[in-house]
Amino acid sequence: MKITAAVLRSPDGLHHLEEVDLAPPGAGEVLVRIVGTGLCHSDLLPRVPGITAGVPFIVGHEGAGIVEELGPGVSDLNVGDHVILSFDHCRQCQNCLSGAPAYCTTFTERNLSGLSTDGTSPVRDSDQRSVKARWFGQSSAATYTVVDSRNAIPVHADLPLEVLGPLGCGIQTGAGAVFEALKVSPGTSVVVFGTGAVGLSSIMASAVAGATTIIGVDTNPSRLELAKELGATHVFEAGTSELTSLITGITDGGAQCSLDTTGIPEVIGSAIEILRSTGTCGLLGVQRGDLSISPSALASGRTVTGIRMGSGVPRVLVPRLLRLYRQGRFPFDRLVTTFPLEEINEAEQAALRGEIVKPVLLTAP
């Protein structure tokens, strides 16, 4: 079928809306009409040489929409279902079978190549050339996409589908890091470095989990103000003099948990330094260089761990977050600013400038 998609044809170029051909859903797949898709910092990765299979490329991996067609063998969804789309995983390796699909042994192949595991793509352009369209199993910066049915999370039709997409990646990453990976408990302290969509989701989740000291650190004053509104008890601008001593004082000798969402080695060092001797630092950001950790930083019992996609099971974690949202305890929609799909480039730049937290691209009715 003919669909409209935002196609990136040059790593340093713009996304352009094009009419392309989308193959019908195969066995175990569904056709989804996209209503809205979030833009995530990871959507910049196809611009980085060596990360993906190269351009042309359709990004978008925080899609939400309505099931329009079922492929052969699909029994867990129905036409008309409202769904949130999340990452792809094999469901057969030991990690998937153990309830850790974010650490699937084929995660990179399935989510970061832009291609199916057989090396093909379901999309071709007007010249019948292949376009990478399996980014995180979905490439949802388009009017329609084909996904594995098991990557689609059914949601109630009364929820605002146009803003739900970010739950499939950024929001679940931040919240899952708190609930699933670090298992933050009541009365504890959490420090979050970077208050973008992932960091702010971590702050909201920490408040729900009962943490009594929640600290946000960022370079953007407006985001720090939002962090306070969403549950942070203290905020600091990055670069504040004596930041480490300030935080260790507030947390009575160091925080139980810290999260880095920036991927910057120097910031990660700070996130480790402000921990108490048995604290844990979770790394959520895409790494931007080699990380050097002094042995003495870990000798006292500190733990540093990488966290992918919040370490949760999407079909379990996302419904939990939606129940909290309905109760007004997890207002992730406050992070969202919407744009029409044709303004994808403007949305990308606004996010990079720090003017907005989470852009969501809406397709025409």
Note the pLDDT of residue 50.
78
Note the pLDDT of residue 51.
78
CA distance 217 to 356: 17
Note the pLDDT of residue 285.
86
Note the pLDDT of residue 54.
86
Regions in the chain scoring below 50 on pLDDT: none
- CATH 3.90.1010.10 matches 2-168+331-362: no
CA dihedral 254, 278, 271, 291 (to 10 degrees): 150
> What stretch of H or E contains 277?
strand 275-283
Inter-residue long-range contacts of 92-101, CB under 8 Å, 24+ positions, other chains counted: 99/313, 100/311, 101/313, 101/314
Note the pLDDT of residue 365.
64
SS3 state at 169 = coil
210 burial level (CB within 10 Å; 0-12, 13-18, 19+): exposed
* Domain boundaries 173-309, corresponding CATH code: 3.40.50.720
pLDDT, tens only, 112-126: 999 999 999 999 999
Note the pLDDT of residue 184.
98
Backbone angles phi, psi at 271, to 5 degrees: -65, -30
Note the pLDDT of residue 105.
97
Tally of CB atoms within 10 A around 162? 18
Residue-averaged pLDDT of the chain = 96
pLDDT, tens only, 32-74: 999 999 999 999 999 988 777 789 999 999 999 999 999 999 9
Note the pLDDT of residue 191.
98
**Greatest distance between any 2 Cα atoms in the chain:** 64
SS3 state at 215 = strand
Note the pLDDT of residue 289.
84
Q: Where are the domains of the chain?
A: 2-168+331-362, 173-309
